[in-house]
């Protein structure tokens, strides 16, 4: 398995063995992520964050991962403070920024932006989300969280709930799950169904996919309930958003009938799709996902920079 | 080239290009690819629904005094992958080319996803993997969106 210099654009670019290896490496970083051990593994290396879309977790988590390993971080958190605001293309920005860093983390609302950046950059590019399309590091941290909880991913019943049309985390995760033997249940309002092309891909990969709108039944049958926010910013029509918001809400009452051991996950930020009364239940895992994000990103940075094993 | 009886409908040309075995009904789309408008100044003949022993019916386009460029052949291959192109010089077929659809095409059509990075003013050529040949189906290598035949035809 070769990771040095590799781009992380789409979870489909990685085999199951490679995904499992990344998750194994991630686990080794837990003490460092928790601040119990210090590391200088990436000392002298520079990460550049290019975030053209707002982000709290992904950007801070990449920064924290880099700094916890002794590396440095530069970049910008919004396109408004970069030359993009002056009309510079992403292509030019990437060609410039690659001179300043050893690895680039890119988030853009344009689908395929990370692939384009990777084509242009001689330094590894990590996709931190491109429009409604892919978010591979979120997928890896989701898989890490699930595997840590159950000790396996095969054989589980996983439900994705909410905005399956625009949500890149669910598109990306469902592609990631094709590497495993799972039952996938898609729960959404009809208007926010998983895009046809994604379902087609999943079925072609042999994934057992079921679509439903009955959340209470799903809660009784699933091991993982992966809830997503209805994303206001992706709706072309604000009235459509107003109709859809609050379509599904997970609360303590709903979870009373949950399958034993069910965990509730969410890529965050949440708005009102998970009630705060779930936070204290043993099912809630969304804040643990944040920690998973840190270790997975430490692993990825070490691997693509060729420093793992040193 | 032309099958028995076809000559009566579409007469031989001296120099130019004959596009034969166009999928029946797709002749007008081929004209759009060739940029045939009211300002087109070459002699051009189109026959539609000509009997064909191979496919039952076919369309034929003949353009006098012009040999098609590779880029035009590539576009034609998108909508009618079994067409044959004959270059005619002094009434003789000098070159017979079967249009061929590559596995990956670049720059011929644009992605229909307005949010695709190839539609964002970046200096990048739209690139597609050919998922299916007939009917044609493409997939954008950047955003992953499928382009169906109608969406491709609408661009010509």
> What is the mean pLDDT of the segment spanning B118-130?
95
Residues of chain A contacting residue B144, judged by C-beta atoms under 8 Å apart: 111-112, 133, 197
Contact A91 B143 (CB under 8 A): no
B141 and A CB contact within 8 Å: yes
Of A294, A155, A310, A177, give the one whose Cα is nearest residue A223: A155
In chain B, what are the domains? 16-98 (3.30.70.140), 104-153 (2.30.30.20)
> What is the mean pLDDT of the segment spanning B132-149?
92
> What is the mean pLDDT of the segment spanning B13-17?
91
Dihedral (CA of B146, B128, B99, B44) sign = positive
Contact B142 A131 (CB under 8 A): no
B134 and A CB contact within 8 Å: no
Percent of chain A with pLDDT over 90: 81
Distance CA A152, CA A146 (A): 7
Distance CA B87, CA B72 (A): 14
pLDDT given at position A85: 67
pLDDT given at position B8: 53
pLDDT given at position B30: 92
A185 close to A156: Cβ distance less than 8 angstroms: no
pLDDT given at position B16: 92
Of A94, A63, A97, A56, give the one whose Cα is nearest residue A78: A56
> What is the mean pLDDT of the segment spanning B107-122?
93
pLDDT given at position B153: 84
* Predicted TM-score of the model (pTM): 0.88
Dihedral (CA of A200, A202, A208, A212) sign = negative
Distance CA A235, CA B36 (A): 40
Burial environment of residue A18 by CB neighbours within 10 A (0 to 12, 13 to 18, 19 or more): middle
pLDDT given at position A213: 85
Task: Give A145-174 pLDDT, tens digit per residue.
Answer: 999 999 999 999 999 999 999 899 999 999
**CB nearest A111 (choices: B113, B123, B146):** B113
Of A166, A155, A162, A126, give the one whose Cα is nearest residue A22: A126
Distance CA A29, CA B152 (A): 49
Instruction: With cut-offs at 50, 70 and 90, classify the pLDDT of residue B64.
Output: very high
Percent of chain A with pLDDT over 70: 97
Burial environment of residue A183 by CB neighbours within 10 A (0 to 12, 13 to 18, 19 or more): middle
Residues of chain A contacting residue B145, judged by C-beta atoms under 8 Å apart: 111, 197
Q: Which of residues A303 and B12 earns the better pLDDT score?
A: A303
Q: Which residue numbers of A have CB closer than 8 Å to B's CBs?
A: 89-91, 108-113, 115-116, 119, 130-133, 197
Q: Where are the alpha helices (DSSP H) in chain A?
A: 16-28, 30-33, 57-68, 90-97, 113-120, 136-150, 168-177, 196-204, 215-221, 238-244, 252-255, 286-304
Q: What is the CA radius of gyration of chain B?
A: 17
Helix-helix angle A16-28:A286-304, to 10 degrees: 100
Instruction: With cut-offs at 50, 70 and 90, classify the pLDDT of residue A55.
Output: confident
Contact A90 B120 (CB under 8 A): yes
B117 and A CB contact within 8 Å: yes
Q: What are phi and psi of B57, to 5 degrees?
A: -140, 150
B113 and A CB contact within 8 Å: yes
Q: Of the given ranges (A46-55, A103-112, A185-194, B5-14), which has the lowest mean pLDDT?
A: B5-14
A258 close to A220: Cβ distance less than 8 angstroms: yes
Residues of chain A contacting residue B113, judged by C-beta atoms under 8 Å apart: 111
One DSSP character per residue, A42-55 reads TTT-EEEEEESS--
Name the B residues in 33-62 with CB < 8 Å from any A CB.
none
Of A223, A225, A107, give the one whose Cα is nearest residue A157: A223
pLDDT given at position B24: 94
């Amino acid at each position: 398995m070769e990771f040095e210099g590799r781009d992380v654009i789409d979870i489909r670019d990685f085999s199951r063995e490679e995904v499992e290896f990344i998750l194994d490496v991630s686990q080794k970083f837990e003490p460092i992520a928790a601040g119990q051990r210090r590391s200088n593994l990436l000392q002298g290396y520079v990460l550049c964050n290019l975030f053209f879309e707002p982000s709290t977790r992904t950007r801070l988590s990449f920064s924290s991962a880099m700094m916890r390993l002794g590396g440095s971080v530069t970049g910008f958190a919004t396109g408004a403070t970069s030359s993009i605001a002056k009309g510079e293309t992403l292509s030019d920005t990437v060609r410039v920024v690659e001179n300043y860093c050893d690895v680039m983390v890119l988030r853009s609302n344009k689908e395929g932006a990370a692939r384009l950046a990777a084509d242009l950059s001689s330094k590894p590019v990590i996709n931190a989300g491109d429009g409604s399309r892919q978010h591979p590091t979120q997928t890896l941290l989701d898989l890490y969280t699930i595997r840590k909880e159950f000790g396996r991913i095969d054989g589980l019943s996983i439900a994705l709930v909410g905005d399956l049309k625009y949500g890149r985390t669910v598109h990306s995760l469902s592609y990631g799950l094709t590497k495993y033997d799972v039952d996938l249940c898609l729960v959404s309002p009809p208007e926010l169904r998983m895009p046809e092309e994604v379902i087609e891909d999943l079925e072609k990969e042999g994934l057992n996919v079921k679509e439903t709108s009955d959340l209470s039944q799903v809660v009784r049958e699933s091991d993982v309930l992966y809830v997503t926010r209805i994303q206001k910013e992706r709706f072309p029509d604000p009235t459509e958003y107003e109709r859809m918001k609050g379509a599904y809400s997970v609360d303590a009452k709903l979870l009373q009938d949950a399958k034993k051991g069910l965990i509730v996950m969410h890529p965050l930020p949440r708005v009102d799709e998970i009630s705060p009364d779930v936070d204290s239940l043993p099912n809630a895992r969304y804040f643990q996902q944040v920690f998973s994000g840190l270790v997975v990103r430490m692993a990825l940075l070490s691997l693509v920079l060729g420093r793992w094993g040193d | 080239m032309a099958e028995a009886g076809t000559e009566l409908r579409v007469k031989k040309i001296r120099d130019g290009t004959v596009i034969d075995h166009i999928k029946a009904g797709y002749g007008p789309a081929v004209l759009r690819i060739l940029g045939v408008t009211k300002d087109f100044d070459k002699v051009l003949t189109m026959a539609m629904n000509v009997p064909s022993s191979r496919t039952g019916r076919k369309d034929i386009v003949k353009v006098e005094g012009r040999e098609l460029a590779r880029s035009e052949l590539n576009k034609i291959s998108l909508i009618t992958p079994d067409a044959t192109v004959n270059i005619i010089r002094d009434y003789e077929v000098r070159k017979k080319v079967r249009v061929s659809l590559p596995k990956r095409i670049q720059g011929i059509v644009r992605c229909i996803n307005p949010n695709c990075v190839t539609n964002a003013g970046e200096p990048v050529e739209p690139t597609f993997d050919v998922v299916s040949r007939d009917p044609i189906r493409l997939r954008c290598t950047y955003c992953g969106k499928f382009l169906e035949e109608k969406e491709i035809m609408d661009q010509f």
